């Protein structure tokens, strides 16, 4: 991850794509109409994400972190700017092209698990593969059983979500996110519906998977546990990046940190030192 502005059918490979990067966000802004007003959710955000990192997008509610995650996940599109995912420029792509990219390149882990209640754990994990015709039945079975084993649920393959704990449901969701062999996993507040201990165990599982597979993980979070476990952090406020951090052992070093704005003073008040 770098602190400088990003360099300037399926989406085609961008001619200037850096092979070291999983994601490149370049001058991205997102605005929404709210009645006659325009709400700015992201304001000229630029960010490069190296392959294989465990990165936390941190900030208070309304900071823009979930909006940025949705942009990276090709769930939403920017008002302005450019996004390159795994070397492919996704700007101006059709919904079908973006869906094909998501299916083969990006895995998702959601706060509310988003499992199909009528399907077993095995069937939930298998579901994304059923939309990939190049993967046959035998390979589907091998992948599903492998990732259920990776998340420690090999003995729960025939259980439905209502027969599983919250932590087990999130493990199923992680297996589902990984089963298509994505380059990138996006997790939106994955510990928010879990107790502290279960959330910690889920994070440790994802960190082990990240280290073993070199799959890039990006979290949207305000959970201190996620930030403590991350090796990169991006802090957002009011739709802007205010800090970029890289963990060196147990300490954070900051490639970029926006200077704090001076406090506002009411008319007639005297600023300190004056």
Q: How does the average pLDDT of the chain come out, rounded?
A: 89
Global pTM reads 0.87
Confidence of residue 160 (pLDDT cuts 50, 70, 90): very high
Q: 6 falls in which pLDDT band (50, 70, 90)? A: very low
Top-ranked range on mean pLDDT: pick from 19-23, 147-151, 189-193, 220-224 = 147-151
Calpha distance 220→210 (Å, rounded): 16
pLDDT computed for residue 123 by the predictor: 98
Task: Note the pLDDT of residue 246.
Answer: 93
The yes-or-no verdict on residue 111 having pLDDT over 80 is yes
Encode the chain in three state secondary structure. Answer: CECCCCCCCCCCECCCCCCCEEEEEEEEEEEEEECCEEEEEEEEEEEEEECCCEEEEECCCCCCHHHHHHHHCCCCCCCEEEEEECCEECCCCCHHHHHHHHHHHEEEECCCCCCCCCCCHHHHHHHHHHHCCCCCHHHHHHHHHHHHHHCCCHHHCCCCHHHCCHHHHHHHHHHHHHCCCCCEEEEECCCCCCCHHHHHHHHHHHHHHHHHHCCEEEEEECCHHHHHHCCEEEEEECCEEEEEEEEECCEEEEEEECCCCCCCCCCCCCCCCC
What integer pLDDT is reported at residue 15 of this predicted model?
A: 55
Mean pLDDT score, 24-48: 93
> CATH number of the domain at 52-78+92-273, please?
3.40.50.300
Average pLDDT over residues 63-79: 94
* Residue 8 pLDDT exceeds 50: no
| Per-residue pLDDT band at 5 (split at 50, 70, 90) | very low
Strand order in the sheet with 240-248: 106-109, 184-188, 216-221, 54-58, 232-237, 240-248, 251-257
Per domain, the residue ranges of the chain are 52-78+92-273
């Amino acid at each position: 991850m770098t602190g400088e502005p990003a360099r300037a059918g399926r989406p085609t490979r961008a001619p200037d794509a850096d092979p070291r990067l999983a994601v490149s966000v370049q001058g991205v802004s997102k605005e929404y109409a709210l009645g006659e007003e325009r709400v700015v959710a992201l304001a000229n955000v630029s960010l490069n994400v190296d392959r294989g990192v465990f990165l936390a997008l941190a900030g208070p509610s309304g900071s823009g972190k979930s909006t940025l995650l949705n942009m990276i996940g090709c769930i939403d599109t920017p008002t302005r700017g450019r996004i390159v995912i795994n070397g492919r420029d996704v700007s101006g792509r059709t919904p079908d092209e973006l869906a094909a990219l998501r299916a083969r390149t990006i895995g998702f882990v959601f706060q509310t698990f988003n499992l199909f209640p009528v399907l077993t754990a095995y069937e939930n994990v298998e579901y994304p593969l059923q939309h990939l015709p190049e993967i046959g039945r035998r390979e589907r079975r091998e992948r599903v059983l492998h990732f259920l084993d990776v998340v420690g649920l090999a003995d729960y393959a025939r259980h439905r979500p209502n027969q599983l704990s919250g932590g087990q449901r999130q493990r199923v969701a992680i297996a589902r996110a990984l089963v298509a062999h994505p380059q990138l996993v996006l997790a939106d507040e994955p510990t928010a519906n879990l107790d502290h201990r279960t959330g910690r165990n889920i994070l440790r599982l994802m960190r082990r998977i990240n280290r073993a597979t070199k799959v890039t993980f990006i979290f949207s979070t305000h959970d201190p546990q996620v930030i403590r476990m991350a090796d990169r952090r991006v802090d957002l406020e009011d739709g802007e990046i205010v800090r970029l951090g890289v963990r060196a052992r147990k300490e954070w070093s900051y490639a970029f940190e926006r200077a704090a704005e001076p406090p506002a003073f009411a008319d007639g008040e005297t600023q300190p030192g004056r």
